[in-house]
Amino acid sequence: MFSRSALRSFASELRWTAPSTISSAPLQQRACLHQTASLMDSQQPQSQSSFTHPESPLSATPRAQDAKPKGIPPSNNFNEATMTPQTRADVPIAKQPVEPTFTSPLKVTKSMLSQLPHLAGQKPHYVVAQLHARPYLLTEGDHLRLPFLMPKVKAGDILRFNRASAVGSRDFTMKGTPTIDERIYECRVRVTGVDSEPLRIKEKTKRRQRHVKHATSKHRYTLMRVMDVRVKTPEELLAEGAVIVEDGEDASVIEPRS
Amino acid sequence: MPLRGIRTSTAARNGAGAFILQCKRLDFHYCNWAGSSKGMVTFLENFLPAFARENPQIEIRVSPRPQKHPLIKGLYINGREKPVCVRNLEPSEILKKANLLKEASGEKLKRTKKPVTSLNESVRGIWSPYHGDLRGV
């Protein structure tokens, strides 16, 4: 989310000028959030359409195949700072989430593809998500209180953690080198609010001086709830346009428990 | 026989499925006479209608409280309340305070060291010396 403003301006230009260059349908931003869990049925026609255009690499990796936004006009009386958006219609078009653009399709090694059903089929899953180079071990339904105040998010927003160093289940772990490709798994969190700590007072003293200075601090933290942690099955990956390659050195591997 | 409380079958995990804002009500108190309520009165006239329109899920009550400093009080789903005194504040600052109350979780402020709190069982289970193969040290 840190180079997002640049991405956003780029994407909004694309959106206005030629939305069909990135995706087959205009305004597919909704795809970034609402994902695939319950959508195996609705995937079929989309995946076929992606097979008809194999020459463009991005159409081979549609992020999600569900609900196209209906071209809802953004409401005019939206005030950024104060309002909690209830639906996507409340969010202005320039602020809507940007669909990630990938330059190449997902590459999966043969060995990983053979192991992946074991991992994907064994629930529940955990993910070690990296945020500012700190690991957070998350499972579904966890409460997460970030050690900082995340800028530009509001209560009710849904985020997708796309840097993970490991995804695993009880018996299998997929380790990244150093991170796993974000198209293999899905970890979504919902911002539930902002919390603060009790006022901290630190006494600052100097030698040979009776005066004591009190430094106060009261930090604020973003609260989140993990909505889902999921590993995609090989069928889903192939339907989304993954390419099978030979085993290499720097690919993610799935390790069984020893 | 000891008295037993009702056991809940599920724990509330707001946001995992549906998301409900924890702030359910905001009370705005002001005084018509006192100077410390000047900013609050301007806020009530100019900012509050828009704020209330944008947050239809929050009940908003405005009532005078003569001879007292102005106050915003937030009431939360968990039954707690959070009062903030807004004496001598500008309307824009009061709007910030109202937003703070809106986004707050309503819990008592605590210092926590661990970022993640989980109700789930450990995914990989607890290590046992009797299972798994032997490993050299």
The structural domains of chain B, ordered by start, are 27-103 (3.40.30.10)
**Do A170 and B19 count as a contact with CB atoms less than 8 A apart?**
no
Name beta bridge partners: A202.
A215
| pLDDT tens-digit series, residues A123-157 | 899 999 999 999 999 999 999 999 999 998 989 98
- How far is Cα A23 from Cα A27, in angstroms, rounded to an integer? 8
Judge whether B51 and B95 are in contact, CB under 8 Å. Answer: yes
Is the pLDDT confidence value at A60 over 70?
Answer: no
pLDDT for residue B81: 95
pLDDT for residue B1: 67
**Do B16 and A227 count as a contact with CB atoms less than 8 A apart?**
yes
Nearest to A190 among B15, B117, B132 (CB): B15
Q: Give A71's pLDDT tier (boundaries 50, 70, 90).
A: very low
Return mean pLDDT, chain B.
Answer: 91
pLDDT for residue A34: 46
What do you get for the CA distance between the two ends of chain B, in Å?
A: 53
pLDDT for residue A102: 87
Q: Regarding predicted confidence, which is higher, A106 or A93?
A: A106
Specify the pTM: 0.72
The size of the A-B interface in CB pairs under 8 A is 118
Nearest CA to CA, how far is A214 from chain B (Å)?
19
Collect all residues of chain A within an 8 Å Cβ-Cβ radius of residue B19: 155-156, 190, 192, 225
**Do A124 and B123 count as a contact with CB atoms less than 8 A apart?**
yes
Is the pLDDT confidence value at B66 over 90?
Answer: yes
Is the pLDDT confidence value at A210 over 90?
Answer: yes
A18 class by beta-carbon count within 10 Å (0-12 exposed, 13-18 middle, 19+ buried): exposed
Return mean pLDDT, chain A.
Answer: 76
- How far is Cα A32 from Cα A63, in angstroms, rounded to an integer? 7
Contacts of B125 (CB under 8 A, 6+ apart): A170
Measured at the alpha carbon of residue B70, what is the angle toward residues B64 and B76, in degrees to the nearest 5? 90
Is the pLDDT confidence value at B16 over 50?
Answer: yes
For the ranges A11-15, A19-23, A97-101, B19-23, the maximum mean pLDDT occurs at B19-23
Nearest to A145 among B95, B115, B119 (CB): B115
**Do A124 and B51 count as a contact with CB atoms less than 8 A apart?**
no
pLDDT for residue A77: 54
- How far is Cα B94 from Cα B87, in angstroms, rounded to an integer? 9
Least confident of A89-93, B25-29, B101-105, B118-122: A89-93
- How far is Cα A180 from Cα A42, in angstroms, rounded to an integer? 26
Nearest to B115 among A83, A147, A194 (CB): A147
- How far is Cα A188 from Cα A228, in angstroms, rounded to an integer? 6
Query: DSSP state, B117?
Result: E
pLDDT for residue A10: 55
- How far is Cα A237 from Cα A66, in angstroms, rounded to an integer? 16
**Do A126 and B123 count as a contact with CB atoms less than 8 A apart?**
yes
- How far is Cα B28 from Cα B43, in angstroms, rounded to an integer? 10
- How far is Cα A107 from Cα A237, in angstroms, rounded to an integer? 10
- Please tell me the number of Cα atoms within 13 Å of A14 on its side-chain side: 21
Over residues B12-16, mean pLDDT:
88
Judge whether B42 and B70 are in contact, CB under 8 Å. Answer: no
- Interface with A, mutate which of B20, B114, B118 (most A CBs under 10 A): B118
pLDDT for residue A31: 42
pLDDT for residue B118: 93
pLDDT for residue A97: 73
- Interface with A, mutate which of B105, B122, B127, B131 (most A CBs under 10 A): B105
- How far is Cα A214 from Cα A202, in angstroms, rounded to an integer? 6
Least confident of A107-116, A247-256, B54-63, B122-131: A247-256
Is the pLDDT confidence value at A41 over 70?
Answer: no
Instruction: Centre a 10 Å sphere on the Cβ of residue A205 and count the other Cβ atoms it contains.
Output: 9
